Amino acid sequence: MTISEAIETRRSIPFFDPAVPITKEEILRLSNLANLAPSSMNLQPWEYIVCSTPESKQKLRKVSYDQPKITDASAMLILLGNLQHHLHADEVASSQIRNGYFGEERREGFVGSAHGAYEGNAQKQRDEAFRGGSLWAMTFMLAAHEAGWDTAPLGGFISEQVSEVFNIPETHLPILLIAIGKRPADAKILPRNDRISAETLTHWEAW
């Protein structure tokens, strides 16, 4: 499957076969592919909770407008934005040093600029968490599609209640749910709805 084919054939699937399991290894494999998504300064502002048992999926469904696909999916990911992703800076610097981007003497400067950019700036932390998390989500869904899984992104959840039920700390914000599983063999998926064309949406050089 080429990337164009994956983009063209991925759909937000409304129904999942509840009898289909997914292994932890497969979720981790797909998540490690999604972790290759780009992020500002490579600070990787994402984390995720996997709901794979009937109990945890039911808990999630209750705070997500009772959407049946949540309990039918093989697993649900609660994608979280890490508002303190600047705390990854030291580890990120180690990788840059290992790979020859700069020497040990620039570690402190790199970490300082990450902290300077985000520490105490709630708006910027949140913007970056959503920006990075969105890129992670799309990468995950395309990787899953290539592997024969169906997915659905869900924004229909009550953020405060999700945080409360799943003990999510204030440093992390639920930004999207992703259902992963397999559509039932007899599922009738309606054709994809049209998109507004690039000709309409594109502004060349300035607005």
Where on the chain is the footprint of ligand FMN (CB under 6 A)? Answer: 11-12, 67, 152-156, 176, 192
The nearest distance, CB 119 to ligand FMN, in angstroms, is 28
CB of 51 to ligand FMN, least distance (A): 15
Query: Which residue's CB is nearer to ligand FMN, number 12 or number 161?
Result: 12
Closest CB to ligand FMN among residues 68, 169:
68
CB nearer to ligand FMN: give 9 or 32. 9
User: How far apart (Å, rounded) are the C-alpha atoms in residues 15 and 138?
Assistant: 19
Which residue has its beta carbon closest to ligand FMN? 156
- Least distance from ligand FMN to the Cβ atom of residue 10, Å: 7
> What is the distance between the terminal CA atoms of the chain, rounded to a whole angstrom?
36
Beta carbon nearer to ligand FMN, 11 or 62: 11
What minimum distance in Å lies between the beta carbon of 27 and ligand FMN? 20
